[in-house]
Amino acid sequence: MSIFKAYDVRGIYPDELDESVARLIGNAMASFIGKSPIVVGQDVRLSSPSISQAAIEGILDAGIDVVDIGVCTTPMNYFAVGYLKAAGGMMTTASHNPARYNGFKLCRENAIALSYERGISHLENVVQKGEYKKGKAKGRRSSANVLEDYRAHILRVAGEVLPFKMVMDTGNGVAGLFIEKIFGSLPCKIYPLYFEPDGRFPNHEANPLKLENLRDLQREVKRVGADLGVALDGDGDRCAFVDEKAQIITSDIMTALMAKETLKKHPGAKILYDLRSSLVVPEEIIASGGVPIRSRVGHAYAKEVMREQDIAFGGELSGHYYFRENFYADSGFLALAAVLSILSERKKPVSELVAPLQRYFATGELNFEVKDKDAKIAELAKIFSDAKIDYLDGITISYSDWWCNVRKSNTEPVLRLNLEAKTREKMEETKSRVISILTSSL
């Protein structure tokens, strides 16, 4: 598969992405943006210093200036682009992927994300041709430290916070470097798990979507009697939450909770959710007087819709949470600040706040290797032709008592299934039926 994905660049280092490719990508990014400066940051992967340096060289050779903010989270990179009024941003990271990967998350001015259709395909074309442009004069390199401004930005959302006990697992990713610096002034007791940056990710993958990566967090929440457990991914743009009983709360339920609170502050606002989310999300948005906006999967696409429709808040099942006051971009730290604000205002345990929202039964995301994905989607449409069907992202099949979405992965050669029903029995029944279709020969 190409390293140029639907909403980022990502590949195995050094087999698919090395310093020479990074230099070409940086140069192509400079020609695409065409203005100065471009903010460049990096995570803590072992290959990130050399990959980031190569990308910077490519930008400078094109005659475009660079503001190097060094080691940072991806949301800090987005913030720096918007706050410094830069022309674009380039974050060296492979997000939650295993240690052997690296890549780039890319944006234009005001942290407008590049998607494949809007920028990344151009980079792919230039890199494949081996084109390398040199400016009349080399660009200038400077550095900036946005930490204090970013800290103030985050804590404005948190407001007056009560003295909670929190366990936080950053999976040896970059977020661990900044937890105390940003949240240390709050009256909370933070119990750290794997804060030490280590690009090998020796304890577990820095991917909070995989349940096995939350086990240590759950154990520690029980051990210390914490009010909340939080896990962040390798570059700090996604987070997952665990309640005081050490039960995992799915990100769509957290989206519904945060949406309700957002609508208290912004009555009638639009709230975005991705199409894999529980029916609870649009139901709660409507019940709270808001306007639900359904989006296809992927941070670049979600941000585009957020900006186009001036949406106040959005959430994805993957643990991305988007905020209008954050240049419509995602931030794991801002999501945590928002949750701390909710807990402080409501003065109830997390489990009690989410209990009314956990009223349906979902399979979670299941993956299937399928040779002819388009043919399989067409087969599903034929079998369930009496359902309400749409193709916003893959195929969504909806009945009165259950629904499912089957879509092609943007990052892996698989079909992904999400299914939800109003009863557990219906969920199990329809899950078995849909899986049998996905695994049968065409």
Residues carrying an active site annotation: 95
Provide the sign of the torsion angle of the four alpha carbons 26, 32, 35, 41, taken in this order.
negative
Is 55 exposed, middle or buried (CB count within 10 Å of its CB: 0-12, 13-18, 19+)? buried
Q: How far is CA 177 from CA 91, 144, 181, in A?
A: 17, 17, 8
Q: Cα torsion for 271, 83, 184, 220, to the nearest 10°?
A: 50
- C-alpha 362/C-alpha 405 separation (Å) is 12
Of 60, 79, 61, 58, which is closest to residue 69 (Cα–Cα)? 79
Is 187 exposed, middle or buried (CB count within 10 Å of its CB: 0-12, 13-18, 19+)? exposed
Of 94, 10, 46, 12, which is closest to residue 200 (Cα–Cα)? 46
What angle is formed at CA 318 by the lines to CA 402 and CA 405, rounded to 5 degrees?
30
Of 405, 423, 410, which is closest to residue 366 (Cα–Cα)? 405
- C-alpha 335/C-alpha 337 separation (Å) is 5
Q: Cα torsion for 326, 329, 330, 335, to the nearest 10°?
A: 20
Backbone φ and ψ of 267, nearest 5°: -55, 135
Of 6, 11, 10, which is closest to residue 113 (Cα–Cα)? 6
What angle is formed at CA 345 by the lines to CA 341 and CA 350, rounded to 5 degrees?
75
The SS3 of residue 139 is: coil
- C-alpha 440/C-alpha 442 separation (Å) is 6
As beta bridge partners, residue 398 has 388, 403
